[in-house]
Structure 1
Amino acid sequence: MQYLKYTPYLYLILGAAFIYDGIAKWNDPAATPKISLFIGALAIFMFFFRKRFAKKLEDRNKP
């Protein structure tokens, strides 16, 4: 279960990639940058949520 320690950082990387994609598509009328920006914001939110949840779980399991 050691990999669960690193999964929030995957959300952070994916969030940055989607936000970059949304900014790159911003001036293209055929593209949909809002979807990319929304997914990026959701991934950033999941990063902070997972970090906080992991800390609560770690504090709960302490003797």
Structure 2
Amino acid sequence: MIKFLRYTEYLYLAVAIISIYKIAVLWSIDPKETYIFIFFAVVSVGMFLFRRRYRKRFEERKKDNQQ
């Protein structure tokens, strides 16, 4: 279960990196089209941080219950 949570963290990070790449490519062509990718990048980074904190808390709780 914890490995699955770790993979979803990095999935959000990958979406953020792809969105930032698309922002860099599309900004000079059509800045209005990049707003959706800015939104995806911000939400993905936020979800990455949230999921990481949640996973660490879950690991600590699991470790405390085993002791």
Instruction: Name the TM-score, length of structure 2 as normaliser.
Output: 0.78
CA RMSD of aligned residues (A): 1.7
User: Displaced runs of 4+ in structure 1, greater than 6 A?
Assistant: none
Shifted more, 50-59 versus 22-31: the winner is 22-31
Provide structure 2 residue ranges, at least 5 long, that are not aligned to the other structure: none
Between the aligned partners of 1:47 and 1:30, the Cα distance in structure 2 is 26
Identity of aligned residues (%): 35
Between the aligned partners of 1:54 and 1:35, the Cα distance in structure 2 is 28
Instruction: Name the TM-score, length of structure 1 as normaliser.
Output: 0.82
Greater RCO, 1 or 2 (C-alpha within 8 Å, sep 6+): 2
Q: Aligned residues, how many?
A: 63
